[in-house]
Amino acid sequence: MISFELDVEDLADTRFALSPLHEAVFSLRVLQDPGLSALHLPWRRSVLGRLGGLDTGLLMSLVARRRTLPDFLTPAAGGFAPTFEEELSVARRASAAEVRHDLTLAHAPDALPEALRDALAEEDATVLGLRDAICELLRRYWMVAIEPLWPRMRLVLEADMTYRARQLALGGARSLFADMHPDLRWEGGVLHVDRMISHHRVAPSGRGLLLLPSVFAHKPAPPVSPDVPPRLVYPSRGVATLWDTPPAPDPNALTTLLGAPRARLLVLLEEPLPTVELARRLRVTPSAVSQQLRVLHATGLVARARDGRQVLYRRSALGDQLVAGGS
């Protein structure tokens, strides 16, 4: 069991954050053990074929046999939604002593994998070289395995946080932690994380508790070391919907949304055109076109710019997305 003793100040500073680096590191567990989560098998199958250029031996050595992870690769998020590069820059600043300690502690009581053991036995410069190699490998892995899907993952994680915030508002801390996971218990101002390999109590002492919903976490995951600032990664709600195949676009959706005249107009505005030319192509009066253009411009779907005596209209980036989605 690992326990967090949360006083009034800690509860007041309990907060949520998103962490792309946590997701990348936690996803390595699923790559290593496909039986860990059947929900992620579609993702795993799609990713395995794209890892040919990566050192998968070093990558998989980051996950211990008991599935613990080195703390220096899961730093506390800086702000609500740091970028992957911002978080990775924190990991790149870990000292040689931290890298040795965290990798050894994550794998204890087992021996270190060969990919790590020899480097950690060398002088600090070699350990820092290993740190940099791991961080660069994770950067390349992120680009292949997680970054293309991160917008979808983020929507799921933000929906979870919205739900948790409502639970906190309606029922306080007890309600917040009540249905996060069966291994979590809130009793007498202490948050207990059951079925952990290690056993220690953490007194945040005014540092609060950072809560990180995760797509890839299968159970609550506090830091391995009790000396790390208090944080808890927990399984996000809604993960079962993440890999659903989206429905095929409805070719009539754009017309249903905007109406036939504006939909036809928006499709034509792939290139800059004046009102008169648009009217000619649509076989309507310029005044009728102007009326529709005013609405499309006011909603941000169309941009306009003066060219001599005439005004040219073209779809905005938002308009491009709408047409692409509707077609």
Check pLDDT > 70 for residue 251.
Answer: no
Phi, psi of 208 (to 5 degrees): 75, -170
Confidence of residue 172 (pLDDT cuts 50, 70, 90): confident
User: pLDDT tens digits for 68-113?
Assistant: 999 999 988 778 999 999 999 999 999 999 999 999 999 999 999 9
Helix (H, G, I), strand (E, B), or coil: what is residue 191? strand
Cβ atoms within 10 Å of 70's Cβ, excluding its own: 26
The pLDDT tens digits of the residues spanning 118-144 come to 999 999 999 999 999 999 999 999 999
Start-end of H helices in the chain: 8-12, 20-32, 41-48, 56-60, 84-92, 96-107, 114-120, 124-141, 150-178, 253-258, 260-268, 275-282, 286-298, 317-326
